Amino acid sequence: MSDNLRYYIACNSGLTVLQGNGSGFEELGQSFSGVTLEYIVGCRETPEVLFAAVAFDGGYRSADGGLSWTKILDGDVRTFTVDPHDECVVYAGSGPVCLYRSEDNGKTFDTVDSLLALPQSVQAQWTVPATYAGKVPPHVRHIYIHPDRRDLIYVLLEHGGVLRSLDGGVRWEDVSRGIDYLDMHIIENLPGDFDRYYVSSARGFFRTDDGGKMWHRVEEGMPYGNTEYYSYSHEWLFCDGPSGNPRMVLGGGKGSPGYWVREKMTPHGHILISDDEGVNWRNSANLPIDMPYMPWTFIRHPQKSDVLFCGMGDGARGFGMAPDQRGIGAFYRSNDHGESWDCIMPDMPSVLTAWITPA
């Protein structure tokens, strides 16, 4: 069974648009063949408008629900964020580290030059491992606007740390203290809080209680927690828990993609849950702790607070350099706030990113 939703599923092999029809999924179209789509996101008020970040190629906009795309940015674009306060405002991030802002719903963009005004001592942290030097530049991975305060913005760099602006991007500061390995992924605030944040990285999951002035690990119960080299976490989110309190749902693995390649092993992926604001973690009810897949992306149902989706895949991301590395993966759904999961799209290439809208 499938809800009447539109599904945007991205793999190294391109983007597939599907429509749920109650009994299954109907394919509506494909795009971005031969390139790696790193991130896709849409507007909630106007769901036909979407943005796609394509590694080493550019940023794209669709105004017809993903059936056609227009290039709006050149370069190695890696992420987009739609301002939750005003959908006319859209941010994009690329590599080498650069931040863009649009005020016309992503039709045109200007560079946020203030980000590059940070001291050289901070910019010296913007680097990549030796294996990727000269192949992948350090880039913006995630742009987060506080849902209750639009001038409070966080930018995560891969690699490079956590940057914060308190004035809508006029000035920036590095707030990475306490994180040794600055390969950052996803940040969110505790709902309703302006000081408590959590962030995932290639070597640890962290919490701050002062907006980022100091971070500390919160990995109790994680299978590879507090091990430094093995405590890998990627996408995660807050959702409504069954009791009404915030629940955290996190995708983790053993080590990083580079480690999986070197050791010729699967990601040992798992979906973890915390119902006490990250103090303790446990595995989801019906999935093993060492799946051959990594949970790469989580998506909230656009209408049902208890329903989540997860795109999974093996270690084949390609990093934009090898889009022919299709890998293997699947797409899952949870009807109970992430407690248990069912595979609704098996036998897929490795799923890297996804988005879901009402049909």
Give the model's pLDDT for residue 324: 76
pTM of the full structure: 0.96
Mean pLDDT over residues 223-248, rounded? 93
Look at residue 325 and tell me whether its pLDDT is greater than 90: no
- DSSP state for residue 182 in the 8-state scheme: -
Among 70-79, 132-141, 184-193, 317-326, the range scoring the smallest mean pLDDT is 317-326
* Out of 29-33, 67-71, 243-247, least confident range: 243-247
Read off the pLDDT of residues 102-131 as tens digits, 9 standing for 90 and up: 999 999 999 999 999 999 999 999 999 888
Under 8 Å CB-to-CB from 96, ≥6 apart: which residues? 76, 126, 137, 138, 139
pLDDT in tens, 146-186: 999 999 999 999 999 999 999 999 999 999 999 999 999 99
- DSSP structure class, residue 69: -
pLDDT of residue 321 exceeding 80, the answer is no
More confident residue, 291 or 324: 291
Q: List, in order, residues 6 or more apart from 286 with CB less than 8 Å away.
A: 340, 341
What pLDDT is stored for residue 319 in this prediction? 64
- DSSP class of 242: T
Confidence band of 326 (pLDDT split at 50, 70, 90): confident
DSSP letter assigned to residue 259: H
Of residues 257 and 252, which shows the higher confidence score? 252
pLDDT at 316 over 80: no
CB neighbour class for 113 (10 Å; exposed up to 12, middle 13-18, buried from 19): exposed
Contact 323, 340 (CB under 8 A): no
d(CA 71, CA 52): 9
Q: Could you tell me which of 180, 173, 170 has the C-alpha nearest to residue 155?
A: 173
What are the tokens at 272? Answer: 């973890």
Chain mean pLDDT for the chain: 94
Query: What was the pLDDT predicted at 261?
Result: 85
Beta bridge partners of 77: 94
> Residues 253-300: pLDDT tens digits?
999 888 898 899 999 999 999 999 999 999 999 999 999 999 999 999
What is the pLDDT, as a whole number, of residue 124?
96
Helices (H), the chain: 120-123, 257-263
Provide the residue type at 346 as one letter.
P
pLDDT at 317: 65
**Count, residues in the chain:** 359
Residue 59 has pLDDT above 80, yes or no: yes
